[in-house]
């Protein structure tokens, strides 16, 4: 009877893929935002927490990859077609690579050694916090877009916030500027994919 029920009322992957992709975005949001917070405020977070978030993001990515593969074997169910899912996975893959580098930077972050360093670090911390908050808000809207299969609401302008970090002195911010540039690029790519492919018909 179970087989008959499956034939008559099949459980297509297309019905669960939006939730898995939305969860993927959310776990990477948690990981990326926490990494930025750790970089902005060294020593305020247990490293075990970072590892837990990294593991959650990895598991969500595995689930979403499997879902995307199954989606390709089923009848297309627009607007979440296999090419859209593949595009989302590719953008998240780029995001994951940036997060690995940010993780390395976070765990090796030195504490300020002088009052001048403290003052500089506070300026950088404020700018990173602003970028992190905007990034978090953006990725929430992207996850909602996937769950509702509608284009995302307008997202914050991330590029000017990231560019502000490049005005800070090296050596830390030279590396951080490059990584946040790639981070913003990956998130903006996700937004562009969903905005273009989940159009209201």
Contact 79, 21 (CB under 8 A): no
The domain of 36 spans 16-197
* 1, part of any domain: no
Structure tokens at 135: 């990034």
Region 46-72: what's the mean pLDDT?
93
What is the CATH number for 116?
1.20.58
* 160, part of any domain: yes
pLDDT attached to residue 183:
97
Q: What is the pTM of this model?
A: 0.87
| Residue 201 binned pLDDT confidence (cut-offs 50, 70, 90) | low
- Residue-wise pLDDT for 63-112, tens only, equals 999 999 998 888 878 899 999 999 999 999 999 999 999 999 988 876 65
* 4, part of any domain: no
DSSP code at position 15:
G
* 6, part of any domain: no
* 50, part of any domain: yes
Distance CA 189, CA 102 (A): 19
Number of domain units in the chain: 1
* 172, part of any domain: yes
Q: Which residue has the higher pLDDT, 116 or 160?
A: 160
pLDDT attached to residue 122:
82
Using a pLDDT cut of 70, give the percent of the chain over it. 84
pLDDT attached to residue 32:
97
* 127, part of any domain: yes
In three-state secondary structure terms, 151 is coil
């Amino acid at each position: 009877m179970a087989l008959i029920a499956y034939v008559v009322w099949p459980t297509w992957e297309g019905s669960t893929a939006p939730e898995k992709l939305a969860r993927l975005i959310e776990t990477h949001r948690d990981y990326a935002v926490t990494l930025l917070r750790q970089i902005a405020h060294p020593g305020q977070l247990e490293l075990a927490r970072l590892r837990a978030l990294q593991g959650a993001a990895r598991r969500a990515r595995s689930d979403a990859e499997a879902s995307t593969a199954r989606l390709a074997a089923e009848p297309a169910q627009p607007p979440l077609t296999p090419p859209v899912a593949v595009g989302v996975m590719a953008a998240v893959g780029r995001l994951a690579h940036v997060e690995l580098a940010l993780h390395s930077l976070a765990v090796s972050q030195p504490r300020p050694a002088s009052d001048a360093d403290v003052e500089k670090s506070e300026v950088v911390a404020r700018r990173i916090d602003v970028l992190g908050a905007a990034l978090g808000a953006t990725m929430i809207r992207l996850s909602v877009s996937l769950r509702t299969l509608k284009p995302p609401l307008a997202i914050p302008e991330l590029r000017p916030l990231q560019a502000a970090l490049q005005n800070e002195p090296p050596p830390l911010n030279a590396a951080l500027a490059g990584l946040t540039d790639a981070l913003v690029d990956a998130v903006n790519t996700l937004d562009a994919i969903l905005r273009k492919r989940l159009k209201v018909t």
